[in-house]
Amino acid sequence: MKKVIRTIPDVPRSRLPAVMLLAATLALAATPVHSESGISWQDLSKDEQSVLVKHRADWSSLSPAQQRKLRSGAHQYLQLPPEKRKAVERKHSQFEKMSPEEREKLREKYSRQKRHD
């Protein structure tokens, strides 16, 4: 006995575009959508915007998680007293001057220290 498997029903040529559109629509409907939405630049306070100004041009292309992390860092920075802010600015300036390899070593060192704390 020969087994016949039908994968696509016979569709008249005139209806093929409609069937293909329906299939594409169903495929898109099945695609998972990220449930979290990003933070618009306008939703940031003026102080947050001034701290994060380097990220303005690419803000909308950052993931919502990256946006939240940067906003959190800006909020923490804004809570610091002026002398602590200056220290953070100096360290950040030093970090930006490092090579990618030096930055990676520093990240690894920080990660190891954080695990031991």
Three-state helix/strand/coil letters over 47-110: HHHHHCHHHCCCHHHCCHHHHHHHHHHHHHHHHCCHHHHHHHHHHHHHHHHCCHHHHHHHHHHH
Report pLDDT digits (tens) over 24-77: 555 554 444 444 689 999 999 999 999 999 999 999 999 999 999 999 999 999
The pLDDT value given to residue 115: 86
Q: Give the torsion sign (CA, 110, 111, 112, 115).
A: positive
Where does the pLDDT of residue 100 fall: very low under 50, low under 70, confident under 90, or very high at 90 and above? very high
More confident residue, 16 or 103: 103
Report pLDDT digits (tens) over 61-76: 999 999 999 999 999 9
For residues 86-108, give the mean pLDDT.
Answer: 92
The pLDDT value given to residue 34: 42
More confident residue, 11 or 103: 103
The pLDDT value given to residue 32: 44
CA trace torsion 18, 23, 28, 31 (10° rounding):
170
What mean pLDDT value characterizes the chain? 81
d(CA 59, CA 94): 24
CA 57 to chain centre: 14
